[in-house]
């Protein structure tokens, strides 16, 4: 019997090296529709007490506009220089997979002109969706060409940013084509054309206290003449003018002839937005989550897509719940951090099932974060955006079982695959913490596991 098992394992390893890619069983067996997993729960039941949600929404607004309020200087020169330090310590490869020459990095450092930092200090707003970069270039750099190093993991990508985001401009590149900015999410470089100067009158209008949250990707903002200004993604925020027939009236950012920010009256389809904060109910959460399932994975927001932390952040933003941009910061942003490090996998799963609160619990491991959505089938399920699972074979190198999108899985996706690296490929084994986003006293009585 043992000999037969060894032969079967060997056959599996060989097939893993040579055979075609196989789907992950979870994606076949678990409905990829959050609403279908409610299991009879009341979709209208609240998850957070209204007063607590209102307080969280006010804190969201404070953090969102913080870079416009702070009188102290922005990031230090050392902090700005540290953004690019990993690239200089171990240069990677470019879009052609050939090594980036040292001179390429040196030219970008020279263009950054950090000896003069900070050379500016003015308030700005993004006037179009944009990519925040580590250095003043749109060209990528990958750590290598192997699994987990190549596409899409561009080390120069900080974050995708929406239009209308408050920024503080601290510096510009030597040629003036790039601006070094502080944003609510991170600091980095933006193309100068994507930022307009926000004067006092504009800032006052933009901080109106009434906001609309975009609730679906690809939402079109049109001016009063019907012309498309730009598209916005789920989680973007705009000042709300009011409800109109079949839609919403909002303010959209635009640049005037002298580069000054102008607040333009715009319109958004009714189904594409909601007044913030949207009531935090299971029905609203599953409706928005369902719009994100299947969306392509996007490291750092590349191509307008989402990675794991952007997914959790954007999904909860319309409800007025603030999350930082990266997964490690999110792990420390909740009301309670439950350490799971060192526990057996079965014990971790038990604790998630017993103490986790659906849609109000983050599951964190180094480099990845997931949103617990309940245990309708007796085992915990999670919503997450993931590139792939680590694989290995007897004689083949490390690889990835590609997922590349937002999915609903168990905590052990791919466990059925003989080529899954064990234990490193098991998400449950890597799980380090459970983060409850609200204290028990703030949750509605019906909100539970």
Q: What is the DSSP string of 188-252?
A: EEEEGGGEEE--HHHHHHHT-S-EEEE-STTEEEEETTS-EEEEE-TT-EEEEEEEETTEEEEEE
Query: Hey, what domains does the chain have and what are their CATH numbers?
Result: 25-48+280-442 (3.90.1720.10), 64-203 (2.30.30.40), 208-276 (2.30.30)
Please give the pLDDT value at position 267.
Answer: 97
Please give the pLDDT value at position 148.
Answer: 86
Contact 263, 202 (CB under 8 A): yes
Q: How far apart are CA 155 and CA 149, in angstroms?
A: 9
What does each C-alpha distance from 196 to 169, 187, 367 come to in angstroms?
Answer: 10, 17, 34
Q: Is the pLDDT of residue 18 over 50?
A: no
Dump pLDDT digits (tens) for 356-406. 999 999 999 999 999 999 999 889 999 999 999 999 866 667 889 999 999
Q: How far apart are CA 419 and CA 439, in angstroms?
A: 40
Please give the pLDDT value at position 38.
Answer: 81
Please give the pLDDT value at position 395.
Answer: 60
78-82, 121-125, 436-440: which range is least confident on average? 78-82
What does each C-alpha distance from 307 to 153, 205, 224, 384 come to in angstroms?
Answer: 10, 32, 34, 8
Cis bond upstream, residue 423 (ω within 30): yes
Q: How confident is the model at residue 6 (pLDDT cuts 50, 70, 90)?
A: very low
pTM: 0.93
Q: How far apart are CA 73 and CA 120, in angstroms?
A: 11
Please give the pLDDT value at position 447.
Answer: 60
Dump pLDDT digits (tens) for 74-121. 889 999 999 888 888 889 999 999 999 999 999 999 999 999 999 999
Phi, psi angles (nearest 5°) of residue 219:
-70, 130
Task: Return the structure tokens found at 329.
Answer: 């910061």
Q: How confident is the model at residue 415 (pLDDT cuts 50, 70, 90)?
A: very high
Please give the pLDDT value at position 446.
Answer: 66
Please give the pLDDT value at position 249.
Answer: 98
Dump pLDDT digits (tens) for 242-288. 999 889 999 999 999 999 999 999 999 999 999 999 999 999 999 99
> Nearest Cα to 418, choosing from 10, 23, 12?
12
> Nearest Cα to 392, choosing from 413, 366, 426, 422?
422
Residue with tokens 């380090």: 432
Please give the pLDDT value at position 394.
Answer: 60
Q: 26-55 burial, b if ≥16 CB within 10 A, otherwise e?
A: beeebebebeebbeebeeeebbbbeebbee
Phi, psi angles (nearest 5°) of residue 442:
-90, -10
Dump pLDDT digits (tens) for 170-197. 999 999 999 999 999 999 999 999 999 9
Contact 295, 217 (CB under 8 A): yes
How much of the chain, in percent, has pLDDT values that exceed 90?
A: 84
């Amino acid at each position: 019997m043992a000999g037969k098992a060894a032969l079967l394992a060997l056959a599996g390893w060989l097939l893993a090296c040579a055979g075609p890619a196989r789907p992950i069983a979870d994606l076949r067996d678990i409905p990829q529709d959050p609403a279908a997993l409610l299991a009879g729960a009341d979709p209208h039941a609240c998850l957070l007490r209204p007063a607590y949600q209102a307080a969280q929404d006010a804190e969201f607004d404070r953090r969102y506009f913080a870079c416009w309020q702070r009188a102290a200087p922005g990031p230090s020169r050392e902090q700005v220089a540290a953004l690019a330090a990993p690239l200089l310590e171990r240069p990677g490869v470019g879009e052609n997979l050939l090594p980036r020459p040292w001179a390429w990095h040196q030219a970008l450092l020279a263009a950054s002109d950090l000896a003069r930092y900070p050379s500016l200090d003015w308030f700005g707003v993004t006037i179009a969706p944009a990519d925040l970069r580590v250095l003043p270039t749109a060209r990528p750099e990958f750590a290598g060409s192997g699994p987990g190093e190549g596409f899409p993991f561009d080390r120069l990508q900080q974050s995708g940013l929406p239009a209308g985001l408050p920024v503080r401009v601290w510096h510009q590149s030597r040629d003036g084509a790039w601006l070094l900015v502080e944003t609510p999410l991170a600091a980095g470089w933006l193309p100068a054309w994507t930022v307009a100067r926000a004067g006092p009158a504009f800032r006052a209008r933009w901080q109106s206290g009434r906001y609309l949250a975009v609730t679906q990707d690809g939402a079109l903002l049109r001016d009063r003449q019907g012309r498309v200004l730009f598209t916005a993604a789920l989680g973007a925020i705009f000042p709300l003018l009011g409800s109109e027939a079949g839609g919403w009236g909002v303010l959209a950012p635009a640049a005037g002839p002298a580069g000054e920010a102008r607040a333009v009256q715009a319109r958004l389809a009714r189904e594409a937005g909601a007044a913030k904060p949207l009531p935090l109910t299971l029905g609203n959460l599953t409706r928005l989550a369902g719009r994100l399932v299947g969306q392509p994975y996007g490291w750092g927001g590349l191509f307008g897509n989402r990675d794991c932390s952007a997914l959790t952040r954007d999904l909860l933003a319309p409800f007025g719940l603030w999350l930082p941009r990266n997964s490690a910061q999110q792990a420390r942003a909740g009301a309670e951090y439950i350490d799971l490090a060192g526990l057996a996998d079965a014990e971790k799963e038990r604790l998630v099932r017993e103490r986790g609160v659906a849609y109000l619990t983050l599951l964190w491991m180094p480099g990845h974060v997931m949103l617990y959505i309940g245990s309708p089938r007796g085992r915990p399920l999670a919503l997450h955006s993931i590139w792939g699972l680590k694989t290995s074979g007897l004689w083949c190198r490390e690889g990835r079982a590609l997922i590349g999108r937002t999915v609903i899985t168990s905590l052990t996706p791919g466990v059925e695959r003989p080529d899954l690296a064990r234990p490193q490929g098991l998400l449950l084994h890597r799980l380090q913490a459970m983060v409850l986003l609200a204290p028990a006293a703030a949750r509605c009585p019906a909100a539970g596991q």
